[in-house]
Amino acid sequence: MSLPTSTHLDLEAQFRADATRLGAERDVAEVFAELNAAYTAPARKYHSIEHIGECLRALADVRATLGAPEEVAMAIWFHDAIYATHPFASSEKRSAELAYASCTRMGIAEVPARRIADMVLATKDHELPAKGAVDERDAAALFDIDLGILGADPVRYARFERDVRAEYSWVPEGVFRGRRAKLLRGFAARPSIYRTPLLKGRLEDAARANIDGAVRELEATVDDLVLHANDEHVFATRAARLELIHPWSDLYYASVRPGRGGTSPKLGVAFGPDDDRGLDIAVDAPGAADVIERLRSVPGYDHDGERRGATSAIPSIVYSRDRHPAIEGPVRRGPRAAYRGAS
């Protein structure tokens, strides 16, 4: 993943400025080029140059509170410089060694170079060694910035989970789900995910909501289906994994059907005229209320149809793409299509 040229130049300028403040006087452009090449490698789906840019923007908000903000900035650049997902990769150790070697190569003095390397190594467990010269405020900020993605908006967080899965594509689905859920539950079990007051106030609640939703998706059984929605996407999980990510513009139709025999009404969602994987979810399922509210704001939503459906036994088609004629009757599943209108 590469960034637009202007953004690339902004990041390079930031790198040069921080390195210069630390005393760097040679090979700065070469070290930046090497880091940029690492973070823009095709295999970097999440641990990419985008992640570095997000971290540096978060650093800008807390920079004035830190003891050595330039060292934290350099630690951000090196903390995922070497990133491999296979067992025994020792990515943090190797990244720390690269950080120390690169900093001294640029002319940064021994003591700050060692502190930068120590912070990079500490990102493995987000705990500082018992002995060390790193300012606790600086380390806490680095750890919180690295975990900032947990408190991102729902669309960005869902993309994060998707991209992490892509980086671990070699891991079998069931193994990945179990280990990923265990990792996320570990964050949720902390008294506080974040240590820096500003970032804690800004991100803590959102991070806990994101983690809760992700763990429910990861631990769902094959029969479970979880939906959650926001202004841009519907996310559906079938067979315990995030399976479909569709823009609302791709939504083909949706319906709300009354429940029978005391059961909950059903929300039906399909994404194509021959979608034989149409989703049929209880209206009281997690997140379904958000999906319904979002549907109500989509142009073309049939508010009159919803009102009619609430007062009759005929299922109500509440949204349909213009390219398909209105469907007037029960939604039925055929051999190829997710719906059939009654005739």
343 residues of the chain, pLDDT tens digit each: 444 444 566 999 999 999 999 999 999 999 999 999 999 999 999 999 999 999 999 999 999 999 999 999 999 999 999 999 988 889 999 999 999 999 999 999 999 999 999 999 999 999 876 667 899 999 999 999 999 999 998 778 888 888 898 899 899 878 888 999 999 999 999 999 999 999 999 999 999 999 998 888 788 765 566 666 655 566 665 433 444 555 666 666 777 777 777 777 777 777 666 665 667 777 877 677 777 777 777 666 777 767 766 665 555 566 665 444 443 333 333 333 333 333 2
Look at residue 8 in the predicted model and tell me its pLDDT: 63
CB atoms near residue 167 (< 10 Å): 17
| Separation in Å, CA 296 to CA 35, 271, 281, 321 | 46, 17, 17, 14
Domain 5-146 has CATH 1.10.3210: yes
- Measured CA to CA, the distance from residue 249 to residue 160 in angstroms comes to 22
Planar angle of CA 19, 25, 29, nearest 5 degrees:
65
Domain ranges of the chain: 5-146, 151-219, 226-320
Note the pLDDT of residue 229.
63
* Residue-level pLDDT at 48: 96
HSE of 187 in the Cβ direction (CA atoms, 13 Å)? 28
Query: What is the enclosing helix (H) or strand (E) of 160?
Result: helix 154-167
Looking at residue 156, its pLDDT comes to 85
What does the block give as tokens for 296?
């109500």
Q: Is 307 helix (H, G, I), strand (E, B) or coil?
A: helix
User: Residue 261: which region, alpha, beta or left (left: phi > 0; alpha: psi -120 to 50)?
Assistant: left
**What φ, ψ does residue 227 adopt, rounded to 5°?**
-120, 145
pLDDT at 328: 39
Cα–Cα distance, 72 to 61 (Å, whole number)? 13
Helix and strand totals (H; E) in the chain = 12, 7
Report which secondary-structure segment, H or E, holds 253: strand 253-257
